Amino acid sequence: MISGIGALMVVIVAVVFYAFLAWFVFKNWNNSHPLSIYEYVEQFPQVKTKKGIICRHCGSRSLRNLGIDEETDNRRLITCNGCASPLYHMSR
C-alpha cells in the first residue's frame, strides 16, 4: 500500500500529466486546418463567391462545419464535403 506522501506524489504527477496533455491538445486544435478563414480567402481569392465560400480543390459549396469537442464548440474546423480536403479553421 502507498503511504500518504507517496499517494500525494502520484496524484501530483497525474495532475501535471493531464494538465500538459490538455494544454497540448488545445494548443494544437487547428493543426489539421492551419489557415484561418481570413487567411484562406486572402491566399485563394477565387474561393469567395456571391453564394459563399467554396472548396479551392474541387469547387464544391458543400462544406462540413465541425466543432472540436462537440457540435456546440466555438472552435470550428471546416472541411469540404465533396473531396474531404481540410480548408480552414475559425472561432465563433
Q: 91, 84, 90: which is closest to 55 by C-alpha?
A: 84
Same structural domain, 37 and 76: yes
Question: 50 and 90: one domain?
Answer: yes
87 and 43 in a common domain: yes
| Per-residue pLDDT reduced to its tens digit, 4-16 | 777 888 888 888 8
Please answer whether residues 66 and 76 qualify as being in contact, where contact means their C-beta atoms are separated by less than 8 angstroms: yes
Q: How many residues does the chain have?
A: 92
C-alpha distances in Å from residue 45, one per residue of 7, 14, 41, 54: 58, 47, 5, 10
Per the structure, the complete domain to which residue 18 belongs is given by 1-30
Q: Over the stretch 46-72, which tens digit does the pLDDT of each residue have?
A: 999 999 999 999 999 999 999 887 888
Query: Considering its fold, how many domains does the chain have in total?
Result: 2
39 and 3 in a common domain? no
Q: What is the pTM of this model?
A: 0.68
